[in-house]
Amino acid sequence: CSGGSGSDGMMMTGLWAVAQTLLQLFILLALAPVMAWALAELPRWINGEAICGPQRQMRRAIRFWGVVLRQPVAPRLALVLAISLLIFVVLPAVTTGGAFVSLANPLLIGLLLLAGRLMLGVPQQREEWRRVLPAVLVLCLTEALIALAAPGADGLGGLCAMLHIEPAPGLEGALGACALALAISCPPLREDDMIQRLDGEKSRQVREMSRNVAEVLNMAWLLLLADLAMPITVGLGGSDVTGWFVGLGGLLGRLALVVVVLIGLRLTAQERSERLTALFAGVALLLALAGRFAT
């Protein structure tokens, strides 16, 4: 009987992990158009312009997913969309109890997202590589700092759980500085960026689908930045439903903070600043080393 009850408990734990992952996926997909609206419209509102709510973005997202479910998608767009959805189910956005959270390696996830960014449309290669290469270096630094300060962590999920047990202010500050360096070097794609990338595309449907895929990819990038910036706010996997909602509140707070920072960088014209990227990368290294030697 004890063996049977243990098996049932493991099955329930597995089902709860899958349920959390699917619920997280749907929540992030619903948030993607809202985040796209916030990044596009809130800077205009701060500058005193009249704006509308996110209803248009929501309707466009609903139409997009209707088309995706009914019709085949261009291979390149399908691959970028698959990368984004994979990130949604892998990152410990709400809690560390997701079914695939053990795969949340920040370097691998970041490289996949940057590859997806390069596959969207036809970017200006020189300009785009100026954004992507610094981001790759910061991602490598992030991976090295985690290995240095938390050698036993199993990806971002294990790191979040470890920080709940034994807080490490030096590492948390270093990860926040890395997230800021990534936000500066490689901000989310804007509407102007997509117009340039799709300049030679004659199909209206492909252009529209590309913009929607870019919104989903941007959401995955925001999620990575949010999880790196404040990993301590990710909920623990062994918690109940109440703990899951606490983790959801932490996710919304992290995303709001990331949006505020990105808008601030845009309004102050500090996006894509190589000097600031190098500065915050250096700050991250100093904080991680200081925290390591302090222990």
- The answer to whether the CB of 243 falls within 8 A of the CB of 108 is no
Q: Which two tokens stand for residue 174?
A: 């270093």
pLDDT at 193 (0 to 100): 86
Residue pLDDT, tens place only, 222-246: 999 999 999 999 988 766 778 888 8
Q: Which two tokens stand for residue 156?
A: 């971002």
The residue type of 251 is L
Q: Give the integer Cα–Cα distance in Å for 174 and 178.
A: 6
pLDDT at 15 (0 to 100): 83
| Strand, coil or helix: 235 | strand
Q: Give the integer Cα–Cα distance in Å for 254 and 179.
A: 12
- Tokens 């749907």, residue located: 26
pLDDT of 149 above 60: yes
| Strand, coil or helix: 180 | helix
Residue pLDDT, tens place only, 53-93: 889 999 999 999 999 988 888 899 999 999 999 999 999 99
Closest CA to 113 of 222, 39, 229, 262: 222
Closest CA to 103 of 116, 90, 122, 117: 90
pLDDT of 163 above 90: no
| pLDDT-derived band at 3, boundaries 50, 70, 90 | low
Q: Which residues contact 128 (CB under 8 A, 6 or more apart)?
A: 117, 118
Q: Give the integer Cα–Cα distance in Å for 90 and 102.
A: 8
pLDDT at 294 (0 to 100): 62
| Strand, coil or helix: 117 | helix
- Tokens 């700050």, residue located: 283
> When comparing pLDDT for 153 and 75, which is higher?
75
Its pTM stands at: 0.93
Q: Which residues contact 174 (CB under 8 A, 6 or more apart)?
A: 145, 149, 283, 284, 285, 287, 288, 291
pLDDT of 221 above 90: yes
pLDDT of 292 above 90: no
